[in-house]
């Protein structure tokens, strides 16, 4: 990197020296600052999305001694419904064949909240690209074990989880 120096003499005869940054140096610094800002925004989005999503989803019936009741007919085949269970994130999936799975939504790697990928019919942990089947088994990535299963029953059209 080079620095250009400009020397001027004012109308009173004083010498005024001004160092000017080379244009390429200025561009380099601006590029670095822009890159840092972009990385920060991406990291923030990756971490905050699951948290925001988790809190936007209704927690279900909390007044049933730690159990969650969900009407069976609100569950759509191929979709997942997230909820709060005993103070943490959980999810129930109605698979394409109509069977259900109730799981902790907390990734066993480092604790991020998984996301349902309806087009792939699996879960993605956005933190380190861990993938799980709809039943919670590890497909790939760093998670050391499956998502924890939560017991549930289906009685008279109501899914009771916990």
**Which residues contact ligand FES by CB under 6 A?**
107, 109-110, 112, 125, 127-128, 130, 141-143
Q: Least distance to ligand FES from the beta carbon of 17, Å?
A: 55
Q: Least distance to ligand FES from the beta carbon of 80, Å?
A: 16
Closer residue to ligand FES in complex, CB, 92/112: 112
DSSP state of 89: E
Q: Tokens standing for 128?
A: 């380190």
Neighbouring-strand partners of residue 102: 92
Q: Tokens standing for 115?
A: 């996301």
62 φ/ψ angles, rounded to the nearest 5 degrees: -90, -5
The residues, any chain, with a CB within 8 Å of residue 24's CB and separated by 6 or more, are 1
Pinpoint the alpha helices (H) of the chain: 23-56
Closer residue to ligand FES in complex, CB, 68/125: 125
Q: Least distance to ligand FES from the beta carbon of 112, Å?
A: 4
Closer residue to ligand FES in complex, CB, 147/159: 147
């Amino acid at each position: 990197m080079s620095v250009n120096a400009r020397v001027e003499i004012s109308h009173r005869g004083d010498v005024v020296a001004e160092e000017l940054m080379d244009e390429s140096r200025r561009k380099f610094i601006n590029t670095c600052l822009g890159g840092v800002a972009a990385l920060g925004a991406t990291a923030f989005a990756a971490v905050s999305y699951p948290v925001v999503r988790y809190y936007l989803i209704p927690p279900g019936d909390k007044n049933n001694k730690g159990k969650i009741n969900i009407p069976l007919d609100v569950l759509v085949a191929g979709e997942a419904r997230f909820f709060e269970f005993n103070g943490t994130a959980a999810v129930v999936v109605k698979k394409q064949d109509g069977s259900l799975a109730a799981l902790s939504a907390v990734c066993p790697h480092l604790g991020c909240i998984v996301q349902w990928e309806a087009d792939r019919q699996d879960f993605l942990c956005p933190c380190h690209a861990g993938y799980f089947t709809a039943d919670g088994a590890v497909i790939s990535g760093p998670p050391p074990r499956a998502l924890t299963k939560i017991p549930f029953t289906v009685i008279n059209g109501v899914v009771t989880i916990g």
